[in-house]
Structure 1
């Protein structure tokens, strides 16, 4: 390949990647701020500062754009979570810091954007067919990430159930935060739940019998 052609192709590929990323980020922001109905390819393209034609070159339909945006942002958020885990405090306070992080995932822009899509998919069979595999992936990866952050043993089924309960709690707190600022009550719940979770995990690691098994 001619060196001049190679050098030309690289900047073009970089521009294409940047354009794609701007579109995906603009889609999430638009869903969270304006909702499903307002998040069209044209609106997203304008928000991203690119032409509608350029947007449709990357994502021919609105459904292509929105599902790609959710997957991209979720993957980016989970990768950031893995990196953040190395900076969390050791010893007392670690479990609360982790639970706080998990809840933040469900009270941020990505969750609010995803909620718009899940709601629309409930009454749209074609969209639901596209969204269900994403929801299943999100659940698996979020659980795996939480397990790794909390240091749960792979074979400890009870600890795994507590991790899932923690994620369910985080999702519920995220829903409660959609319409009103629930931050004060949320902080109190996180503190109490983290103390209970920490106690359970400590007993599991030390081999103590659970007083009440989760069904």
Structure 2
């Protein structure tokens, strides 16, 4: 068990105890210009993640010892890098567990390495501090909905004056909604706004991220203070019918 380093460029960490698969994924990333670190256990991965400050992590859920959920949970205490979770089980509970600790996307094994690279590309096209585009551009980057304040330029969220820590993807989902208060976004519309038109996968990924944003805002589907569900259509924030 351990970690090896491959190539130079943008930084990626691949964490999977299936060494042939980990090295296969690393090879694809290397050919795309990444500096790749390959780890085969969660404990060593956490050490490397602190040292490397990667742009993206491809992380297996079912690691022995320190599993992928715990690796992701600890990673989120010191990094906002993108996390693409891999799971050998398709049950929704795995997806919910993985995303609840800050994973940005997930794939179920077996998968096409080309599809994985497409997902990586989509995530990395969303720079760390990119503002959410709007047309026409807003006069201010700050949106206020009741006791919720979102500053798109500073990428800060406050509720009742207290800061709320969101992952990059969670922030982008909330910012996309806040950019057009009252407008109802369908799942495909939110996917295009946040992940981009090249993303492919399960649209219910949106629901999971909305769930976690609501939890962090002290919101819920039952008592909808900020994000409102429009049955059969999608989500909106602020006023509207």
Q: Structure 2-normalised TM-score?
A: 0.29
Higher helix share: 1
Q: Structure 1-normalised TM-score?
A: 0.32
Higher strand share: 2
Structure (1 or 2) with the larger CA radius of gyration: 1
**RCO higher in structure (CA 8 A, sep ≥6):** 1
